[in-house]
Amino acid sequence: MDNTAEIKRGTGVLPQRTHMRRMLESVKKNYFLYLLLAPALILTLIFKYVPMYGAIIAFKDFSPIKGIMGSEWVGLKHFEKFISSPNFDVIFMNTLKLSFFGLIFSFPVPILLALMLNQIRKSTIKKNIQLFLYAPNFISVVVIVGMLFIFLSPTGPLNHIAAWLTGEPLMFMSEPEYFRWIYILSDIWQSAGWASIIYVAALANVDPELHNAASLDGANLLQRIRHIDLPTIRPIMAIVFILAAGGIMSIGFEKAYLMQTSMNLPASEIIATYVYKVGLQSGDYAYSAAVGLFNSVINVILLLTVNFIVKKLNEGEGLY
């Protein structure tokens, strides 16, 4: 018996059983918390993991009649077709530029808003300003784009000002050079206030005594923000930046597609809209799946790279 126990202990059988027993005891003890967690896990499994099976059609000459398993395997044919297509450079660079500039310009705005809101001491004024900043987030993308077309049309209010200054209206929604900045600035207006919530919540945990002590030592407002507020939200900033960089190629399809016109297409055609047109409108499901999978792989590579860089710069603190 002793020899058998020693063998089991040496092979790791007993530690594994102990771990399983402890895990089952934890489930029994906290079963209600696991029940609360179950719906989120089930939905994630159904809508995030199960659809991964369909990605196999990116490597097949998919036919709806033959099905996924009955379709002919073609390997990397669709990926090579996309990379060698004459539209690849334009579509890839449009997606990268729109995402990169959007990240660079939109990432600091919620932080600045949170820092400014944190300086407002009257709760009534602060709540009213927060309500004003959060409201655009609840406006539908369709409504936002409709507002853009109205305000930026040749007869819109902004063009009245432009015509008064330059003598002629500007074709904001038709010229490709305006598309990227309209997209980014409208996105900042819509989402920056809502994105600042997480930073406002983190700053609420800062002990006021730290600011009082710093003020007594002669620190001004900028010095208190630099040495007290920013270190408090730095871990959150790192996580948000990593997640944003990991999705840098996955910009919103709806807004870009709704803002597209035949004249701004050289700047507005991105991978997401291209996948929609090729996959759903043209019915080339295998090719569109390959393009979408290519986009996802780029996102994963960016996520791993940015997380590695942030961990090096942030004293080992990253997403994982």
In this structure, is residue 320 part of a structural domain? no
Specify if 272 maps to a domain.
yes
Whether the pLDDT of residue 69 is over 60: the answer is: yes
Structural domain span for residue 38: 2-65
Are 92 and 121 contained in the same domain? yes
Q: Residues with Cβ < 8 Å from 196, sequence gap 6 or more?
A: 109, 110, 111, 113, 114, 117, 133
Q: Say how many domains are in the chain.
A: 2
What does the pLDDT read at residue 276? 87
97 in the same domain as 31:
no
More confident call, 99 vs 17 = 99
Asked if residue 7 has pLDDT above 50, the reply is no
In a domain, 277, yes or no: yes
CATH of the domain at 288: 1.10.3720.10
User: Which among 240, 320, 251 is positioned nearest to 98, based on CA atoms?
Assistant: 251
Q: Are residues 108 and 46 in the same domain?
A: no
Q: What DSSP state is assigned to residue 56? A: G
Tokens of 100: 């990169």
Mean pLDDT of 291-295: 87
191-241 pLDDT, tens digit per residue, is: 999 999 999 999 988 888 888 888 888 888 889 888 889 988 988 888 888
Other beta carbons within 10 angstroms of residue 63's beta carbon come to: 14
Q: How far apart are CA 202 and CA 112, in angstroms?
A: 14
Residue % of the chain over a pLDDT of 70: 93
Based on the domain organization, do 191 and 50 belong to the same domain? no
- The pLDDT value given to residue 16: 67
Tokens of residue 104, six digits: 């660079």
Of the three residues 26, 41, 65, the one that is the final residue of a domain is 65
Going 54 to 58 to 59 to 65, the CA torsion angle's sign is positive
Same domain? 108 vs 178: yes
109 and 162 within one domain: yes
Provide the whole-model pTM: 0.80
Quick one: tokens of 78? 């669709």
Stated length of the chain:
320
The residues, ordered by sequence, that sit 6+ positions from 74 with a Cβ below 8 Å of its Cβ are 59, 60, 61, 286
The per-residue pLDDT for range 141-171, each reduced to its tens digit, is: 999 999 999 988 888 888 888 888 877 888 8
